[in-house]
Structure 1
């Protein structure tokens, strides 16, 4: 079906050429009384040239050679002159456009040589003029075919680039979805596992505290189910790729860590509203995901008793920001958000980078941020830096404050 659709323009062109050659030759024959009458064989030769054009995709060389032979035979038999060379000109164009450049130029050159030899044999000045005119048209036809060839190649290049961009977007989509699934499963199941362990411990030591622990497991599993539904909505294309994640959720994130037995602390240095306004939705979601991954790693692997998360505004090194922005300068220019997650666990100890840490780097790279994970002596220190967007909000004058939660 696709091949028929691609060949449809050539079929229309061949039919038009056949009609023009038949009708044009019929009218031209009335002015050529000395020419051979147009019989059935002449009609076959007139139709054979346009019919051979249909071979332009499968056998362009055979197409051009066949059209040339049919046209030469028609003229050699003395049939009336008319638009007979039309199919030959189209064949030269199609052969050149089909990237058979050397063959097309060779045929055109041979025709030019034959025309001038014929003119020299007849010895008339008018014949040389006709030969030069026809030779010029042959060169024009080949160049026209070259133009079509270049147009096709550029169109194919654009399609290839579009396919590559589509594939790259699909790969990025799958990668982002894989990171989201990893975050949901790793965070939620880790918290449920830890709380279940706490519940088992309480069932033996302090049965009165068993109910709150089970309620925490129920709440955590409910949140996990909601996030999984959001991701399934993405797969069904019923929801956006990134669910709405804001810094407001960090308090709940640290509350989950406390439920897992950690002493968790969250500190904003510079005002939560000021940080949020300058991050933007994409940066805010990335910071949330990175903090979530770091806290999950502390719960699962660090063996820590304490984790502290601190967010603070900083001037970009080498670009000090004035206290009062100058004319035309955006507030927040030259500033960055520094997020540190510190625990008192066993530290990195040269552990290889897994999907979680790799996902942190990829997320931050998408918003121009960086992450550095080092041993904190004791524990692990995760340092995240995210550039801030300039805003002109009134919150610029908000004084720095520390809010411990």
Structure 2
């Protein structure tokens, strides 16, 4: 187990963290309180101990030295706990009245244990107790006051019980603080993981939206420029497609940015899903790509995450075909199984440029295929990409989902051709 001092170093960090003692006030204030209690309390205790030495200037100094050391108890806990114990030993060896002089030792012991210096605290307290036994039962003949006698042993057992109580309370506090440190670290790790996941999700969403829309805009801009003089009507159609694609991209980007500005709020519009598959095929047609959609199996209503993943995979695959393939046709297959949706996107190829590979995004500048895998892996599925044996390229994703509900036709979905 990591010591608490490793997570919260001595000094100011501990002053902020130990709320039970010093987080809301300076360290010197609690030390001043201890000084007042020791001085005033010893005055009252001395009234019933006429056989002890009277409280002189040296005794007053000793009663203040211990609390003064406590100001440094979180910066130098070992020095302070031994120093407070030594002051208490000198006080008792001088024959002064018993009283709350032990409070400085208790506070110093507590600070040493909770900051991880357990051996120092135990050693200092045991040293104090052994010294007290020697003074009380062996050295009292040579130490003041002159007529001092040894106390009964049961009284020493009370002192030993007091010492054990101090150590036990300090150990319990140490365990509790270590638990609080672990819980705080776990909360910070969870928040950091959540932030990383959200950052990756937003990066994937922006990539999928912008890559698809900008690819369509790029193709249509090229068509418009080429036909501007020869066929103005066709150029007008290309510009209309550019306007539609850019408007849609701006809307989706605005939705992603809204979640950044107002975290925790529900999105103003639903996330895209397979019900908008018709929009993808229309945009691909505007870019010169004919898309055939087939559905196999009994169509089921998908959870939002699976629906969005399927939509983005088709979107990214069609974008890659428009950008990287010479083929002007593509086939999208949606195969519904029990608790799983299989999405396959095929094109006949070949690549638009010699030596170009659709898989280059994994090692090059593109992030499309990596984003696909991350998105589907988060749902417990997998994605396979690669060339087909008969040429062309295939993207195959298996997306698991739970609680499927059979539907006849999702609203707004483009008419699909059922597989024979």
Provide the TM-score with structure 2 as the length reference. 0.80
Distance 1:210 1:387 in 2: 43
Residue 156 in 1 paired to residue 169 in 2? no
The match for 2:109 is: 92
The match for 1:82 is: 99
1:132, distance to aligned residue in structure 2 (A): 3.4
Match 1:340 to one of 344, 347, 350: 344
1:22, distance to aligned residue in structure 2 (A): 2.5
Structure 2's unaligned 5+ residue stretches are: 1-11, 142-148
Asked whether the 8 Å contact 1:108–1:139 carries over to 2, the reply is no
Partner SS, residue 71 of structure 2 = helix
- Residues 161-187 of structure 1 show CA distances to partners (whole Å, capped at 9, x for unaligned) of 222222222211211111112112211
Partner SS, residue 62 of structure 2 = helix
Asked whether the 8 Å contact 1:346–1:378 carries over to 2, the reply is yes
1:159, distance to aligned residue in structure 2 (A): 1.8
Which segment drifts farther, 155-164 or 124-133?
A: 124-133
The match for 1:246 is: 273
Residue 231 in 1 paired to residue 252 in 2? no
The match for 1:27 is: 44
> What does 1:343-358 correspond to in 2, within 5 Å?
343-346=347-350, 351-352=359-360, 353=362, 354-358=366-370
Distance 2:93 2:132 in 1: 14
- Residues 225-247 of structure 1 show CA distances to partners (whole Å, capped at 9, x for unaligned) of 22222233233237658961121
The match for 2:385 is: 373
Runs of 4+ in 1 over 4 A off after TM superposition: 1-6, 9-13, 122-126, 238-243, 347-350, 393-396
Distance 2:55 2:383 in 1: 85
1:125, distance to aligned residue in structure 2 (A): 8.8
- Residues 237-282 of structure 1 show CA distances to partners (whole Å, capped at 9, x for unaligned) of 37658961121111101110001111112223346xx43x2x2111
Structure 1's unaligned 5+ residue stretches are: 316-334
The match for 2:334 is: 311
Residue 201 in 1 paired to residue 223 in 2? no
The match for 2:86 is: 69
The alpha-carbon distance between structure 1 residues 350 and 359, as it changes in their structure 2 partners (threshold 3 A), is: closer
Distance 1:5 1:336 in 2: 52
Asked whether the 8 Å contact 1:119–1:127 carries over to 2, the reply is no
- Residues 120-156 of structure 1 show CA distances to partners (whole Å, capped at 9, x for unaligned) of 5279995433333323332332233222222222222
Partner SS, residue 116 of structure 2 = coil
Distance 2:236 2:135 in 1: 108
1:299, distance to aligned residue in structure 2 (A): 0.6
The match for 1:319 is: none
The match for 2:400 is: 387
- Residues 29-64 of structure 1 show CA distances to partners (whole Å, capped at 9, x for unaligned) of 222234343345433322332232221110112211
Asked whether the 8 Å contact 1:116–1:131 carries over to 2, the reply is yes
The match for 1:180 is: 205
Match 2:314 to one of 280, 288, 291: 291
1:362, distance to aligned residue in structure 2 (A): 0.3
Residue 165 in 1 paired to residue 182 in 2? no
Provide the TM-score with structure 1 as the length reference. 0.83
Asked whether the 8 Å contact 1:373–1:382 carries over to 2, the reply is yes
Asked whether the 8 Å contact 1:28–1:82 carries over to 2, the reply is yes
Asked whether the 8 Å contact 1:188–1:220 carries over to 2, the reply is yes
Asked whether the 8 Å contact 2:81–2:109 carries over to 1, the reply is yes
1:379, distance to aligned residue in structure 2 (A): 1.1
Distance 2:85 2:129 in 1: 13
More helix by share: 1
- The count of aligned residue pairs is 378
The alpha-carbon distance between structure 1 residues 5 and 65, as it changes in their structure 2 partners (threshold 3 A), is: same
Distance 2:135 2:38 in 1: 24
Partner SS, residue 373 of structure 1 = strand
Distance 2:56 2:124 in 1: 29
Distance 2:239 2:126 in 1: 90
> What does 1:7-156 correspond to in 2, within 5 Å?
7=22, 8=25, 11=28, 13-118=30-135, 120-121=137-138, 127-156=152-181
Residue 362 in 1 paired to residue 389 in 2? no
Distance 1:193 1:394 in 2: 39
